[in-house]
Amino acid sequence: MKITLKLFATFRDNRFKVAEREYADNATIGTILEELGISEPELGVALINGRHVVPTDALVDGATVSLFPKVGGG
């Protein structure tokens, strides 16, 4: 299946802002994280078509996936 993947903030470092990617039909948000070398504790928010999801949620063909890191500071 084809998805559009958008990365935000520090997730863009040495990666990309937006890319179209192909994934197997059984792929999840966790599949993307593993491929990009992002650990689950680093993930702040994941969205599929603007709706909040968790790493075990399945990808949907033609979807836009947005990944945001946790925000730090004080």
**Domains and their CATH numbers in the chain:** 2-69 (3.10.20.30)
In the chain (74 residues long), the average pLDDT of successive 10-residue segments reads 96 96 96 96 96 96 97 68
In the prediction, which pLDDT does 65 show? Answer: 98
Distance from C-alpha of 32 to C-alpha of 26, rounded to nearest angstrom: 12
Phi, psi (deg, nearest 5) at residue 34: -60, -45
Is 43 strand, coil or helix? Answer: strand
Report CA Rg, the chain.
12
